[in-house]
Structure 1
Amino acid sequence: MKSHQNSAGIAAAWNVADASSVVYYLLHGLQHRGSDSAGIASADGQNVQVHKRFGMLAESFNANRLAELGGQYALGQVRMATDSDIGTANLQPMMVRAHQGSFAIATTGMISNAPSLRKHMEADGLIFQGTSDAEVITHLIQMAPGKLVNKIETACQILKGPYAFILMTRHTMYAVVSRLAISQLYYVPYQDGYLFASETSAFGMFDVGEPIAIEPGQMIFLGRHGFTTRQMDVGAKYPCAMEAVYYSREDSLFQNQSVHKARQKLGAALAKGEDVQADIVIGVPDTAISAATAFARELKIPYEIGLIKNRYVGSTFVRPIKEQKENEIQTRLNAISSIVKGKSVFLVDDSIQKGKTAAYLCRLLKEAGAREVHLRIASPRIDHSCFYGTEYIPRQELAAANYELEEMKEIFHADSLRFLKLEDFEAVLGDSMCTACMSGRYFGKLYDYEFRKENENGRSI
């Protein structure tokens, strides 16, 4: 329940009736990934059109708007915004009108070498309307020679980092996952076509089979000849560990297991070796609830609902302005005094990044009458910057990178503090995932590292 990166959801429908409405419902299953903006583009074989705006999905679309979009093909995105990319030019799907024909694109993940690519393009006279990495992709595609499928492949050979995107023309669609598959894309057959989404929770309300992950370095092409695949590069899957901890919805899959079950296992592992006595366990809504209930069950002490979430306030990581993020921490959760008063409390959260939420919640519970607050984190210390997400956060802003455990305990006003050990975390989830923010183990060269460190507060794809 704090500011994390890598939060955008993309979805698409190919050759299905009322594709725009289908994508709308797919995006509903991804709304937790960002509520700053929503957009849908549609195609009917003749034209491509798009509607996008700031706000949540339901604020952006109604039945009339979806009927206007129509189409047999559609794609969409819901997204968070970082402090530096709140302009309308960054809203997606991004529409490109080129002499070869119009297309729309929706993206997730990150282009690691986007800053230097943008710098070279601007030096060559190319104009950017916004700050989104998606514009870098569209410029590379337009500059490359050959047919569109070849243009996309050429662009992908230049792009570095963990990204995924879906591109749609008036009669074709392309779904791409980079060779460094930290960002995922899934598809399922549906009606006479296919559905795509960046998280499996999107498929929940559709009668479909098991989602299939697009392979690293793979492009799926949908056109007159149906469904074809092209292996552009050899890669490997290293899904972001924070998907299991925070980003993904409980009914999604991570490494072929339920996210809810994975979080329960993390909570149970956290309880092993616990030497503090407390009266009750409280979980931070919503993403720490699964871990907290398992933590309580393992220790055989009561789990209580001691924090109430105001569901009419956005998540702390999906508001675009720093001051709004900090204010909303204080408005979206309330403590139930009758539950915590006079009690020694285990407060279980999913993770700590900057630590502002942790400090506020410990203080909130004590002001509500808690005698003690013992903070337990169901993931390892985040003490390295993420260079694979959508927002670069310097190490000097990460609590665990700058303070020892005892110092953090004092800063958070907690009576004790404990994180899940990395080896226990990997014992639950496996080690074939990206834990760079926890372990410092990065995958190869960190493209544009110095540029990003010195010149950026955060960018979104």
Structure 2
Amino acid sequence: STTGGSVIDNAQPICSVSAAVNLALAHNGNVINAIELKEDLADWGVEFHGSNDSEIIAHLLAHAPGLNWQERIAYCMRRLKGAYSLTVMTPTELIGIRDPLGVRPLCIGRLSGGWVLASESCALDHIGADFVRDVRPGEAVLIDADGLRTIYKRAPDNGRISAGCVFEYIYFARPDSTIEGRLVHSSRAAMGAALSAEYPTDADLVIGVPDSAIAAAVGYSQASGIPYAEGLVKNRYVGRTFIQPDQSLRDLGVRLKLNVLPEIISGKRIVVVDDSIVRGTTTPHVVSLLRRGGAREVHLRICAPPIVSPCHFGVDMATRPELIAANMSVEDIRDYVGADSLGFLSHESLVDAVGLQRNTLCMACFTGEYPIPVQLEMDKLALEA
């Protein structure tokens, strides 16, 4: 979730016109020095129509000093701090840019003699494009009539290799996507298997909270030998609830999102695998549904460690007070959600399941250790002023 409210003027793509270029931009991530950049652009005479960081990036690219794209992008990447995977279109070019830490994914595809940029590789599959490779952290690629080429590279200022968001593997990415060479489905299945080893329990069935925890639930079932069953049904017309812009919409989404299959779970001891617990909005409702459906015991197993710190890089969890694990112990959370037991995946097992080196991942929401300096609390609507 980028900085800025959910209003039409903040909808992407963002367009910007200058004496040098005419461009449209789409952005995944969050720029943490957006206020400073907006003030500089205002001093240059730039007018703003929305109130998000994506518009700031678009105007910065359009008005940056430089004789060509390489020079303009170099200037922008020196100024931008935070997470940004960008696709930029001009009348004759397609450009992909990924921040030096590579926090958010971005990949390149080939289609009928043309080129495609996408956040996830599964998008390429849907249009019949072939995956070529990921845009590398700190890389800018340009595509024009002459084909694809790298026009700029920038390493992180702090000497890190990269800091890809581990939450992509847990929740955000689709299971049929590949990120940094790792199939997301395989990572989630490995998370479930690791949960089985870390928190074994006597139970009759394993179920997953649809859709993001299904692969992990199957992994738990296979590793534990406890049968897997579909005990919860998702309303396909309700989107992801925790990334809704306000709590009232999240609460409504939870009530509409799930229903239980009593014939499957009644009288059973259930292991429920879920991807994460962020605010604690969904989990009590899930446990209550299962109890009303006749479950004898409900044992929660979570594919992520406790989330104790805000995200500043594009996930809509911006303050500690809204994070349940930042304010309660595991035992208190268990009692609050009404489960018989609760287990969170360890940091070490999560890294092993993802299959990448720990120093290439951002795990700040679990550790409080950010890959670049950030202010401790972030106001998503700061640019509204």
TM-score when scaled to structure 1?
0.76
Structure 1 residues 268-290: Cα deviation after superposition (integer angstroms, max 9, x where no partner):
01000434212211110001001
Letter of the structure 1 residue corresponding to residue 73 of structure 2: I
1:434 to 2:362 alignment: yes
Give the match for residue 417 of structure 1: 342
Provide closer, same or farther for how the CA distance between residues 99 and 239 of structure 1 changes in structure 2, counting only shifts above 3 A: same
The letter of the residue matching 1:365 is L
In structure 2, list runs of 5 or more residues that go unmatched.
none
Letter in 1 for 2:64: A
Aligned counterparts of 1:278 and 1:406: Cα–Cα separation in 2: 20
Out of 267, 284, 287, the position equivalent to 2:209 is 284
Contact 2:22 2:62 in 1 (8 A): no
Partner of 1:350: 275
| Corresponding position of 1:445 | 373
Residue type at the aligned position of 1:91? A
Deviation at 1:219, TM superposition (A): 1.2
Question: Normalising to structure 2: TM-score of the pair?
Answer: 0.91
Aligned 1:217-256 pairs, distance under 5 A? 217-235=138-156, 236-256=161-181
Which amino acid is 2:47 matched to?
I
* 1:400–1:157 distance in 2 versus 1, CA, 3 Å: same
Aligned twin of 1:388: 313
Distance in 2, matches of 1:286 and 1:194, equals 30
Identify the residue that residue 65 of structure 2 maps to in structure 1: 145
- Out of 169-178 and 142-151, give the one that drifted further: 142-151
| Contact in 2 for aligned 1:85/1:130 (Cα 8 Å) | no
The Cα RMSD (Å) is 2.2
Counting only pairs closer than 5 Å after superposition, residues 172-321 of structure 1 correspond to structure 2 as: 172-235=93-156, 236-321=161-246
**Once the two structures are aligned, what percentage of the paired residues are identical?**
33
CA spacing shift, 1:109–1:459, aligned 2, 3 Å: farther
Residue 105 of structure 1 is matched in structure 2 by 25
Instruction: Indicate conservation of the 8 Å contact 2:199/2:343, yes or no.
Output: no
Structure 1: state its 5+ residue gaps.
Answer: 7-81
SS of 1:286's equivalent?
A: coil
CA contact (8 A) 2:83 2:102 kept: yes
Determine the C-alpha separation between the residues in 2 that align with 1:233 and 1:249. Answer: 28
Relative to structure 1, the CA distance from residue 128 to residue 108 in structure 2 (aligned partners, 3 Å threshold; closer, same or farther) is: same
- The equivalent of 1:170 in structure 2 is 91
Offset of 1:298 from its aligned partner? 1.6
Contact 2:15 2:58 in 1 (8 A): no
Q: Which moved more, 1:364-373 or 1:259-268?
A: 364-373
Distance 1:319 1:428, change over 3 A: closer
Distance 2:198 2:74 in 1: 51
CA distance in 2, matches of 1:357, 1:219: 39
Contact 1:392 1:458 in 2 (8 A): no
Which SS does the other structure have where 1:355 is aligned?
coil
Shift of 1:335: 0.8
Report the Cα offset of residue 164 of structure 1: 1.4
8 Å contact from structure 1 (residues 144, 154) kept in 2 = yes
Q: Given the superposition, is the C-alpha separation of residues 246 and 390 from structure 1 closer, same or farther in structure 2, using an over 3 Å criterion? A: closer
> Take 2:121 and 2:62, find their aligned partners in 1: how far apart are those partners?
31
8 Å CA contact 1:280–1:301 kept in 2: the answer is yes
SS of residue paired to 2:73: helix
CA distance in 2, matches of 1:269, 1:420: 7
Alpha-carbon separation, structure 1, partners of 2:242 and 2:75: 34
Say which SS state the counterpart of residue 115 (structure 1) adopts. helix
Asked if 2 retains the 8 angstrom alpha-carbon contact of 1:283 and 1:349, the reply is: yes
> 1:397, CA displacement in angstroms?
1.4
| 3-state DSSP of counterpart to 1:219 | strand
Deviations 1:284-328 (A, max 9, x none): 000100111111222212211111111122221454443122111
Shift of 1:207: 4.7
Structure 1 residues 175 and 269, CA gap change in structure 2 (3 angstroms): same
Q: Deviations over 1:390-420 (max 9, x none)?
A: 4342112111111111101110011111111
1:391 and 1:457 in contact (8 A); partners too = no
SS state at 1:409 partner: helix
Which of 17, 29, 34 is matched with 1:114 structurally?
A: 34
- Relative to structure 1, the CA distance from residue 441 to residue 196 in structure 2 (aligned partners, 3 Å threshold; closer, same or farther) is same
Deviates more, 1:417-426 or 1:248-257: 248-257
Number of paired residues? 376
